[in-house]
């Protein structure tokens, strides 16, 4: 492990996250890097703007100041999320005098567990058996004879980054065929190799899991992918102008025509805005629509209000954007920042943000 860079020793670090201060993490940051840490429990803003005046580093979900003059010493912003859409609307986002990094690579394991938890609950009709248990019905049910195991099923993964690769790895272990859709073409072994951060032993670093690769985010390319006999469609790509509203009735119609059993199960762990939510609700309510069921960790808006019709959509699992959360979330996310702080400011950083692309 590299020694701490003297450049960052004594630097002021501001951490904003909506949980109480984790003293063990603060102690580790002080001992390993030598930074002075302020931890403020908040989601998107700090009440006192003066807090930012002497800050060199910010680790946050989205608590940024509106102008460079409000944070004159700021040198590094680390997003504690898999993407940067929470900070990309900030007026200072992309400022070339600030380095921008994010926490991609820490989410794959828990989010893969969530994808398979919800899909297998759907496949195995878990709600039926939970209700039978509550009613103390111990007799044999023939429902199980109509369920399908995962062997031979085809999983289409939209966005084959660190999260998608871990999901693909687990899918392969379960006997599934994995199809990957990426924004750009991945023809060579080098193209398919993962360049970003990942936890040891996780994911598909060489890109060897998919049996088929597809590329392009336009409608024509997307429809070719959706026509590939997909059983479960996993959405795991960043929210950009290209991906906003990417899936709707037209796409569900393609699934209806080409997917086994008249449609696919849709698992969205990306952002709610990737799907036309009203058209998804309509599809869930309509037999033969191309959508057999859905698992949504994201929605429009968040949090989802009590009167949203999405709550009543049939065959739909909803969770409040917590599929990645676990006891090690903060320590793993900040470890990426720590590795970068072991380097001088002008070094190549892990998980550098593509500020032009917004991801």
Grouping H, G, I as helix, E, B as strand and the rest as coil, residue 52 is: helix
Average pLDDT over residues 334-348: 92
Instruction: Identify whether 223 is a catalytic site residue.
Output: no
Q: What is the DSSP letter of 160?
A: -
- Please name the residues in contact with 262: beta carbons below 8 A apart, sequence gap of 6 or more: 256, 288, 290, 292
pLDDT, tens digit (0-9, with 9 covering 90-100), for 102-113: 999 999 999 999
Q: Specify the 3-state DSSP secondary structure of 260.
A: helix
pTM of structure = 0.92
CATH number of domain containing 222: 3.40.50.720
For the chain, list the strands marked E by DSSP. Answer: 12-16, 36-40, 57-60, 76-79, 99-102, 154-158, 177-182, 212-215, 232-235, 263-268, 290-296, 316-318
What's the rounded mean pLDDT across residues 13-27? 94
Report how far apart, in Å, the C-alpha atoms of 32 and of each of 6, 25, 29, 126, 160 are: 11, 10, 5, 46, 33
Residue of 47, 84, 40 whose CA lies nearest to 62: 84
Residue 353 lies in a domain: no
Residue 333 lies in a domain: yes
Catalytic residue among 36, 53, 321, 342: 321
Check whether residue 184 and residue 278 sit in a common domain.
yes
Cβ neighbours of residue 306 under 8 Å, at least 6 residues apart?
none
Cis-peptide into 301, omega within 30 deg? yes
Report pLDDT digits (tens) over 119-154. Answer: 999 999 999 889 999 999 988 877 778 889 999 999
Q: Is 273 helix (H, G, I), strand (E, B) or coil?
A: helix
Close Cβ partners of 311 (under 8 Å, ≥ 6 residues apart):
304, 318
C-alpha distance from residue 153 to each of 101, 156, 178 (Å) = 36, 10, 9
Query: Which of 30-44, 137-151, 344-358 reaches the highest mean pLDDT?
Result: 30-44
Catalytic site residue from 154, 165, 271, 332: 271
What gap in Å lies between CA 27 and CA 223, rounded to an integer?
Answer: 51
Question: Both 265 and 330 in a single domain?
Answer: no
Same domain (yes/no): 331, 280: no
pLDDT in tens, 287-320: 999 999 999 999 999 999 999 999 999 999 999 9
What percent of the chain is predicted at pLDDT more than 90? 84
Considering the domain architecture, whether residues 99 and 164 belong to the same structural domain is answered as no
| Pair (131, 268) in one structural domain | yes
Tell me which of 185, 208, 302, 312 is the catalytic residue.
302
Q: 356 pLDDT band (50/70/90 cuts)?
A: confident
pLDDT band at residue 253 using 50, 70 and 90 as cut-offs: very high
From CA 257, how far away is CA 252, in angstroms rounded? 9
Q: pLDDT, tens digit, for every residue of 63-104?
A: 999 999 999 999 999 999 988 888 888 999 999 999 999 999
What pLDDT shows up at residue 216? 98
On the question of pLDDT at 1 being above 60, the answer is: no
R_g of the chain, CA atoms, integer Å: 22
Q: Could you tell me if 77 and 113 lie in one domain?
A: no
Answer whether residue 298 is part of any domain.
yes
99 and 116 belong to one structural domain: no
What is the model's pLDDT at position 352? 94
- Whether 177 is covered by a domain: the verdict is yes
Q: Is residue 194 part of a domain?
A: yes
Helix axis angle for 108-123 and 162-173, nearest 10°, is 50
Mean pLDDT of the chain: 94
Query: What confidence category does residue 237 fall into, taking pLDDT thresholds of 50, 70 and 90?
Result: very high
Which pLDDT value is given to residue 4?
62
Please write the tens of the pLDDT for every residue from 318-327.
999 999 999 9
Tell me, yes or no, whether 357 lies in a domain: no
Residue 3 within any structural domain of the chain? no
Number of helices (H), then strands (E), belonging to the chain: the values are 9, 12
Of the chain, the percentage scoring pLDDT greater than 70 comes to 98
pLDDT at 168 over 80: yes
Residues 206 and 94 occupy one common structural domain? no
**Res 2 pLDDT > 70:** no
Dist. CA 200–CA 218, nearest whole Å: 34
pLDDT at res. 140 = 80
At residue 307, φ and ψ (nearest 5 deg) are: -90, 10
Which residues constitute the domain of residue 55? 12-104+326-342
- How many of the other CB atoms lie within 10 Å of CB of 125? 15
Residue 358, pLDDT score: 67
* pLDDT tens, position by position, 89-99: 899 999 999 99
123 shares a domain with 99: no
Tally the domains of the chain.
2
Q: In the numeric block, which tokens belong to residue 68?
A: 């460079």
Whether 269 and 302 map to the same domain: the answer is yes
Helix (H, G, I), strand (E, B) or coil at 243: coil
148 plus 279 within the same structural domain: yes
Instruction: Give yes or no: 321 in active site.
Output: yes
Domain annotation covers residue 347: no
237 and 169, same structural domain?
yes
pLDDT of residue 152: 98
């Amino acid at each position: 492990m590299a020694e701490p860079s003297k450049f960052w020793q004594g630097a002021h670090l501001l951490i904003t996250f909506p949980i109480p201060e984790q003293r063990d993490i603060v102690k580790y940051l002080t001992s390993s890097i030598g930074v002075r840490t302020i931890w403020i429990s908040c989601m998107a803003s700090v009440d006192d703007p003066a807090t930012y005046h002497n800050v060199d580093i910010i680790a946050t979900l989205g608590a940024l100041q509106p102008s460079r003059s409000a944070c004159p010493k700021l040198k590094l912003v680390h997003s504690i999320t898999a993407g940067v859409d929470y900070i990309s609307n900030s007026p200072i986002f992309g400022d070339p005098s600030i380095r921008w990094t994010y926490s991609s690579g820490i989410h794959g394991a828990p989010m893969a567990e969530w994808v398979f938890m919800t899909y297998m609950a759907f496949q195995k009709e878990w709600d039926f058996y939970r209700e039978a248990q509550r009613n103390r019905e111990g007799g044999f049910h023939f429902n199980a004879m109509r369920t399908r195991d995962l062997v031979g099923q085809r999983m289409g993964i939209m966005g084959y980054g660190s999260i998608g690769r871990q999901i693909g790895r687990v899918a392969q272990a379960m006997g599934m065929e994995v199809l990957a859709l990426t924004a750009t073409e991945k023809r060579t072994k080098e193209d398919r190799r993962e360049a970003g951060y990942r936890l040891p032993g996780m994911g598909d670093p060489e890109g060897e899991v998919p049996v088929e690769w597809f590329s392009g985010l336009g409608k024509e390319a997307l429809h070719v992918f959706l026509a590939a006999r997909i059983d479960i469609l996993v959405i795991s790509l960043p929210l950009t102008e290209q991906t906003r509203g990417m899936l709707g009735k037209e796409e569900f119609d393609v699934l209806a025509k080409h997917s086994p059993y008249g449609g696919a199960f849709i698992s969205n762990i990306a952002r709610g805005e990737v799907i036309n939510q009203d058209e998804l609700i309509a599809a869930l309510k309509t037999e033969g629509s191309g959508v057999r069921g859905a698992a949504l960790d994201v929605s429009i808006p968040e949090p989802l209000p009590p009167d949203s019709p999405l709550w009543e959509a049939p065959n739909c699992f909803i969770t409040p954007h917590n599929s990645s959360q676990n006891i090690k979330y903060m320590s793993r996310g900040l470890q990426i920042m720590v590795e970068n702080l072991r380097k001088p400011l002008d070094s190549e950083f892990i998980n550098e943000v593509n500020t032009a692309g917004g991801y």
